[in-house]
């Protein structure tokens, strides 16, 4: 099993700390397996835009995190990835509510992959749909060089 997947499984079990962005935004990884990830977030006033609804950037962040974890869970040791493109459709406004972001890898090639994420509210209604194109990094690129 890849080290990244093992680390994310520990995060989902609460045995490893979440990344700083998850703590800042208030979302958490609850499930992960190769090609799939699920995050939860409780939308509160602190996440609101000037109209009082959930800021779209928060939805984008939680969807991006879910898609990134789903993709990262497919990588081998010594591999990393970067997002090439991210698109989100906002489908329904959210005020205060519990949200679930479920992501999966749609297709993964040697270098480029496509992920998708559906974000639903506590009633199971779709509030956002996102897609992301990811590029697998190897060698010096994977190490940030």
Looking at CATH, the fold of the domain delimited by 3-142 is given as: Thiol Ester Dehydrase; Chain A (3.10.129)
Per-chain mean pLDDT for the chain: 95
Question: How far is Cα 97 from Cα 88, in angstroms, rounded to an integer?
Answer: 19
Q: For the beta carbon of residue 27, count every other beta carbon within 10 angstroms.
A: 23
State yes or no: pLDDT of 2 exceeds 80: no
Give the DSSP letter of residue 45.
G
Q: What is the largest CA-CA distance in the chain?
A: 46
The CA-CA-CA angle for residues 67, 112, 20, to 5°, reads 35
Within 10 A of 84 (CB to CB), how many other CB atoms are there?
11
How many other C-beta atoms lie within 10 A of the C-beta of residue 5? 19
What's the pLDDT tens digit per position in 76-118?
Answer: 988 999 999 999 999 999 999 999 999 999 999 999 999 999 9
Nearest by Cα to 75 from 33, 132, 19, 136: 136
Residue 41 reports pLDDT greater than 80: yes
Domain spans in the chain, listed from the N-terminal domain onward: 3-142
| pTM passes above 0.85 | yes
């Amino acid at each position: 099993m890849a080290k990244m997947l093992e680390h994310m499984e520990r995060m989902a079990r609460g045995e490893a700390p979440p990344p700083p962005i998850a703590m800042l935004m208030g979302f958490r990884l609850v499930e992960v397996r190769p090609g799939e990830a699920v995050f939860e977030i409780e939308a509160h006033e602190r996440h609101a835009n000037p109209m009082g609804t959930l800021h779209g950037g928060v939805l984008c962040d939680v969807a991006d995190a879910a898609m990134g974890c789903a993709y990262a869970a497919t990588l081998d040791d010594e591999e990393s990835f970067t997002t090439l493109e991210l698109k989100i459709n906002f489908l329904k406004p959210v005020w205060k509510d519990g949200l679930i972001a479920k992501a999966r890898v749609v297709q993964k090639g040697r270098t480029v992959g496509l992920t998708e994420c559906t974000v639903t509210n506590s009633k199971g209604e779709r509030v956002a749909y996102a897609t992301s194109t990811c590029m697998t990094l190897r060698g010096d690129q994977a190490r940030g060089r």
